[in-house]
Each structure stands twice: as C-alpha cells, then as structure tokens.
Structure 1
Amino acid sequence: MVLILNGISPTNLPQDTQSLYNDYPVYAKTAGDLLAIPSRVIEPNKLLYVGQSEFAAVLPHDPNVDIIGSDAATTCIIIVLRHSGSGAVALGHFDGSETKEGVVAVIQKLRGLSLARSEGRLELQLIGAYENESSSSEEVFRGIIQAFHEYPDGIHLTLACVGKVITIYDDKKVPKPIIYGIGIRVKSGEMFPATYPDKGPEQHLRSIRSIEALPSQRMVDIYDNESGFLKIQPFHYEPWAHRSCWSNRTDEALLQRYSTSPMAEPPDMAHNIRNMLKFIHEHSARDVFKDNKPLLFRMHSGLWEPLD
C-alpha cells in the first residue's frame, strides 16, 4: 500500500514540498485554512505536551487529556495521525532522527488503540519544515513521506502545512515559520495553531534527549494509555560534556551550536537551551534515572505530578 495523496495512489512520491503543492494544489488551500485560525496560548490543564523526539497517542474519551500538542517546530515536522473510526489521535515531533522507526511506532500505537473499530481510515497531517536556507527541512519531509509510503497500510494525507506555505520573511528577508506549533482537542479532533508556555514536567531533561541520546533512545512514546501515566524513559548523557558552554556563551552562540535554524527560533529558545545545559551540568543520568527506571507522572487536578 502507499501514501494516498488527494485520493490518488501516486507511482512516484513528490521529492520536495514544492513538488507536492505543484502536483496537488489542494494541500496549499487546506494549509491556508489552518494558518488562518488564530493561534492559542494553551494552559497546562489536562495537556499532553509532546516534545522533540517524542510521540504519544490518545483516545477521545481519555480522562487525563483534553489537548495534545507540540510547538517549537522549525525544520522539524509535527505529524498528526488520526483514525477516523475510533477518533484516536497520535502526535509526534520528528527531527530527522529515527524517522522510519518512529513512523512505524506511531502507526502501531494508533492501530492498537483502534482495534475495536474496524471501520475508518488513517489520516495524516504534517506541520512544520519551514523553507530554510540549508534545505534541512526538505530532508525531514522526504524521510517522513517515504516512511509512511513504505508502510503496508493505506494512509491518507489530508493536510500538509510545510515548506513555503508555512514560511514568512521578516524585514531583513530572513525566513521564519508562520506558526511553530499546533494543538488538537482530543474529543472533537479540532486542530489549531498553538503555543505552550508550560510544556509539562521535566522539560529540560526531555529536551536533552534530542541532542544527547543514542539513536535507539529517540522517538519514544511518552504516554501509557492503560495506566494514564506520563513517562520519561531513561537515556544516557554525559554531565560534563557541555560544562564550558552553559555559563559563558552568548545566546547567538548557543543557537548556532544547538539549532538547525538559529535565525528562526522562538524568542525563548536560547533561554531554554541554557537551562538545558545547566541541567546537564548539575544532574547525571544515573542520579536522574535511579536504577535505570523511567520517571512517571500522573494527572492530578488537571496537572501532571510525580508518582510517589
């Protein structure tokens, strides 16, 4: 089976975002519809935030989650996969690492949640991969559509808000994303542009995974649907690897070192990188993940709290 584009099973996939829009103009229109929705600032109440190199899936009636979402996507792509029969929705934040493995894991997770509903189809939405100078966004795009194309189930691409469509140029002709993130209301499937001032528990630790973890420790599932726990799987990082960076480098230097799009990052990105490096400096992986066990959090009064 292949990735289905506007009802068509293509012999050859588009090799870049521009080719997708040239061959299937409908995707430019539906992307414009998404971009026309005002962006919302999402509070943490019953929020399941998915960071870079993470994914999660939920059913519409999940008692812990009202909104699932992600942001800070520049060259990355946020994928949303929904089963039209069960209403289950999965969201992943892909940066080009472990793409094929991550796509397979997302599909299998969603399929598992939808076993009771045989009718329905898998619908895919892509958001991100702005038109940057190095074309690294295009590499992420190609990897994702190829991975979905190779999966044996038919998957319908219903939204592609990527490339030039999601890009705007500032006064200095620097390209930047029009939106950096999205949210989905899990009960209705409604999607909207969104930002998240509070990204949930242990955000600095979770951010380390995308730059320090081994490839096999990336694209991890952060939500246990049976227990309702948010989980941070253990991974290894070196606490002294960045000790010379976090305290004395400028914001510009940090962005150049740790971002694929230093001119297009959200305003708080350098601050977040600095805090992440400080966390690495002060906390070893052995101390954080005692006995190599995951960190678990449960929903209490609408917020995630550590499991005692």
Structure 2
Amino acid sequence: MIFVDGVPFPSPSSNQESDTETLAALMEHPTLLSASNSFKATPERKFSVPEESVTERSAQSKLVYLFQREFATVDPALVDFVGTDEATTCIGLAIRNRKNGMISVAHVDSPEIVDMGLSQMLSGVVDFNLDADLDVHLLGSFEDFPPRHSDYSTNSENHENMDGFSLPLCTKIVETLRSRREKFHIQTLCILGHNTRRDSNNVAYPIFNGLVVETSSGSVLPASFNRTSRCPDEVVRRIRVTAAYEDSTWNGKLLETYDTQTDRFIIAPCYWTRRQVQIANSLKYLSDTEILHVCSTSPSAEGPDFVENERRIWDYLIKQPDWRKTFPGKRPRIFERTDTGGWKRC
C-alpha cells in the first residue's frame, strides 16, 4: 500500500490504467511536488576518500556504496552512509523502517527485477512485520521518452511498446509498491519530469544521478561518488552486472554484495564466458562516441567517466579471460572494514 502524508493513496478505479494513473497522480501530489522542489534545492553531497585515509592515517565515514543492480540492507549501528550514483534511466530506491531504523538501498535498472528485488530489500528491513511503517525515497530516471508520453499516460500502448527506459521502470515500481501489503510512505519522488533539465537544444538530462542515506537520521540527499569511494572491488563488481544477465541464477534478482550482520562485502562468484571476452576485444576499438551509443541506454546523459569505466572493464576481461583466476576455487571475494572505515581484502 502506498501512503502520502500518512494517508492511504487512493487507487484508480480502472485496472487497465491503474498503474500509470497512480504514477501521474503521485507526480502531481502537492506534498510530493514540494518535497521534490526541496530535494532539488539541497546541495549535492560529494563523496571521495581523502588521500591520507587511503594510507590509513585518518578515519573516514563508514560508507556502503552500490553499483547498478546491487542492493544492500544496512544497520545504522555499523554504517554511516549508504548510497549509489551513475543512475540515468535507473532508479535509486531507499526504504527505511521507522521503528528499527534498518535501511535498504538498491540501484534498480530494469522492470524485470522489481518484484523479486523489492522482496529481497524488505527481507532485512521489516522483520516479518507487515504493519511496519516504511519511508520510501525514489531518485533517478528522467524524461528520456518522446513528448507524447510527458503526461505519464500510455493510453493504448503497453510497456513493451513504449519508447524510453525510465517510464516503464517507474511505473513498475509504483505498481509493485501499490500492490504489496506493507505500508510504504512515499517521502521523495524525484523522478521523470521532476529530475529533468534541458539544454538550449531541448535535450533532456537528469538533474541528479545519485542519492545517499545518512543512517543516523534517515535523511536522504542527492549525492555523487568518485572512484575512490566506489569500492571495494569496483571493476569486478561492474563485471558482475553484465555477467549476471547470462547467469540464470540471478534472473529477476538484485545482486547481493553486502552482509548486514558482519559489515562485510561478500562478492559471490560470477563467471564470464569466452564470448564476453571476445566482445570486449571488439568493443575496445570503438571510439568514445560509439561506446556511448552501443553501451548506454542514455548516451547523452552519461557521466564524464562512463567511457573510461567501460574500457577498464574490457581491459580486465581481456587480461583475465578465465574467471576462475578471479574467484579461485569458486570462492567469494570478501572484504572487511578497516579501522579507518575503508575496506581490505580478507
């Protein structure tokens, strides 16, 4: 169930139009409009690891960072911040239990993983108490669809025939929140038109690409992270995102990376095939512009390091074509927290 201002949000009478109508109504709700405007007026929090912290001479905040398709449930007693960025047509979704303070954050990239992914997130947050009040924050995606969809209505079109990636994902998330029994209190809905800016040529871009939750208060802020804070095991975790699409065990699921109880990252083994290595060998010869158009759902909206990150992934695959050298004995890669708040390989 969806709540706004502590009141159940009414469901439209038409089943055919219910999900798109619900999304449109939420986007226009005065409280959520005001919340979006306040969110956009909040300075973006920029995360990086100071050089002295890298050498373990000074402490830093305890951060859990998530890549695309990953999720993590964190305990405020162990973690200061949890967040994600690099979202263009994706959604950063944060859920917080008001009673116990447990927080789950995910970087959702596809409608196909919403149903099971939400169940994964809630498994560590609700403690089997379906009456728990859950604060929900959504940030990301933008108007990457043609103007005819700007009213968030699909009319006779279905999701499969709809242009763009953002709208089907947002609609699916709202549909799932609305249909479940838990109490979801929407606090932030900075998505689609509320997260879109346009240049002089009317090209659309997202205003924000990331969010972070301050666990002690539950406050959610727009955020960005640089390479030093996107850790641990950055390149391997990026590879897992692509490898998961060819691994049936991850069908419909978010990627598990973080152990809530021990405050450790446990990167489960993933395998890459000879075909993926061959693809990496062919893609490395593309120009930067070609890489953007081949590898991104939103070529004009990607961050300045997108192409470089793609090239680093291909370079790793080419140099390590046998996945078993990355995961010897098919064992996970485990990272534990250092005294300064960073990570070290076990």
Q: TM-score, normalised by structure 1?
A: 0.90
Q: What is the CA RMSD across the aligned residues, in angstroms?
A: 2.0
Bigger shift: residues 155-164 or 40-49 = 40-49
Q: Give 2:194's match in structure 1, choosing from 165, 171, 174.
A: 165
Q: Give 1:20's match in structure 2, choosing from 19, 23, 26.
A: 26
Per-residue deviation at 1:193?
1.1
The answer as to whether partners of 1:124 and 1:159 remain within 8 angstroms in 2 is: yes
Query: Following superposition of structure 1 onto structure 2, how do residues 63-74 of structure 1 map, counting pairs within 5 Å?
Result: 65-74=79-88
Report the AA paired with residue 27 of structure 2.
Y
The equivalent residue for 1:92 is 106
* Aligned counterparts of 1:110 and 1:303: Cα–Cα separation in 2: 25
Larger Rg, first or second structure (1 or 2): 2
Evaluate the alpha carbon distance shift between residue 120 and residue 111 of structure 1 in structure 2; reply closer, same or farther with a 3 A threshold. Answer: closer
Q: Paired residues, what number?
A: 300
- Consecutive unaligned residues of structure 1, counting only runs of 5 or more, are none
Query: Following superposition of structure 1 onto structure 2, how do residues 56-135 of structure 1 map, counting pairs within 5 Å?
Result: 56-62=72-78, 65-96=79-110, 97-112=112-127, 120-133=132-145, 134-135=163-164
The answer as to whether partners of 2:142 and 2:166 remain within 8 angstroms in 1 is: yes
Instruction: Indicate yes or no: 2:179 matched with 1:150.
Output: yes
Deviations, residues 126-180 of structure 1 (Å, cap 9, x unaligned): 1111111342101111121222223222222221110111000123321111111
SS at match of 1:245: helix
Per-residue deviation at 1:18?
4.1
Report the AA paired with residue 318 of structure 2.
H
* Aligned counterparts of 2:278 and 2:124: Cα–Cα separation in 1: 35
Instruction: Indicate yes or no: 2:214 matched with 1:208.
Output: no
Per-residue deviation at 1:5?
4.0
SS at match of 2:77: coil
SS at match of 1:80: strand
Evaluate the alpha carbon distance shift between residue 184 and residue 37 of structure 1 in structure 2; reply closer, same or farther with a 3 A threshold. Answer: same
More helix per residue: 2
Instruction: Indicate yes or no: 2:343 matched with 1:304.
Output: yes
The answer as to whether partners of 2:68 and 2:108 remain within 8 angstroms in 1 is: yes
Q: TM-score, normalised by structure 2?
A: 0.81
SS at match of 2:125: helix
The equivalent residue for 2:292 is 255
Bigger shift: residues 285-294 or 162-171 = 285-294
Per-residue deviation at 1:246?
4.2
SS at match of 2:20: coil
SS at match of 1:15: helix
* Aligned counterparts of 1:228 and 1:87: Cα–Cα separation in 2: 16
* Aligned counterparts of 1:216 and 1:172: Cα–Cα separation in 2: 44
Per-residue deviation at 1:185?
1.3
Report the AA paired with residue 125 of structure 2.
L
The equivalent residue for 1:11 is 11
Q: Give 1:228's match in structure 2, choosing from 263, 273, 282.
A: 263
- Consecutive unaligned residues of structure 2, counting only runs of 5 or more, are 13-17, 50-59, 146-162
Report the AA paired with residue 227 of structure 1.
T
The equivalent residue for 2:158 is none
Deviations, residues 184-220 of structure 1 (Å, cap 9, x unaligned): 1111212211111020122122112332313542512
* Aligned counterparts of 1:107 and 1:164: Cα–Cα separation in 2: 28
The answer as to whether partners of 2:75 and 2:103 remain within 8 angstroms in 1 is: yes
Report the AA paired with residue 260 of structure 2.
N
% same residue: 25
The equivalent residue for 2:56 is none
The answer as to whether partners of 2:70 and 2:106 remain within 8 angstroms in 1 is: yes
Q: Give 1:291's match in structure 2, choosing from 295, 306, 329.
A: 329
Report the AA paired with residue 48 of structure 2.
E
Evaluate the alpha carbon distance shift between residue 233 and residue 275 of structure 1 in structure 2; reply closer, same or farther with a 3 A threshold. Answer: same
Report the AA paired with residue 38 of structure 1.
P
* Aligned counterparts of 2:263 and 2:199: Cα–Cα separation in 1: 43
Evaluate the alpha carbon distance shift between residue 27 and residue 215 of structure 1 in structure 2; reply closer, same or farther with a 3 A threshold. Answer: farther
* Aligned counterparts of 1:251 and 1:272: Cα–Cα separation in 2: 11
SS at match of 1:230: strand
SS at match of 1:227: coil
